[in-house]
Amino acid sequence: MRDKRRTGLVLAGAATVLWAVCAALFATTDAGDGVNIGAALLGLLATPLSVVSLVLLIGSARAAQDAVGPKGRDARVGTPLAMASLVLFAATWVFGGSANTTATATALLAVLVGAVVTFVVSAALFLPPRSNRS
pLDDT in tens, 25-78: 888 887 676 667 888 889 899 999 999 999 999 988 876 555 545 555 567 788
Residues in the chain: 134
Q: What is the mean pLDDT of the chain?
A: 84
pTM for this entry: 0.82
Nearest alpha-carbon partner for 55 in 101, 112, 9: 9
Backbone angles phi, psi at 126, to 5 degrees: -90, -5
Residues spanned by the domain of 123: 2-132
For residue 15, pLDDT beyond 60: yes
**39 Cβ contact partners less than 8 Å away, ≥ 6 residues apart:** 21, 22, 25, 26, 29
Tell me how many domains the chain contains: 1
Residue range 5-17: average pLDDT?
94
pLDDT of residue 68: 46
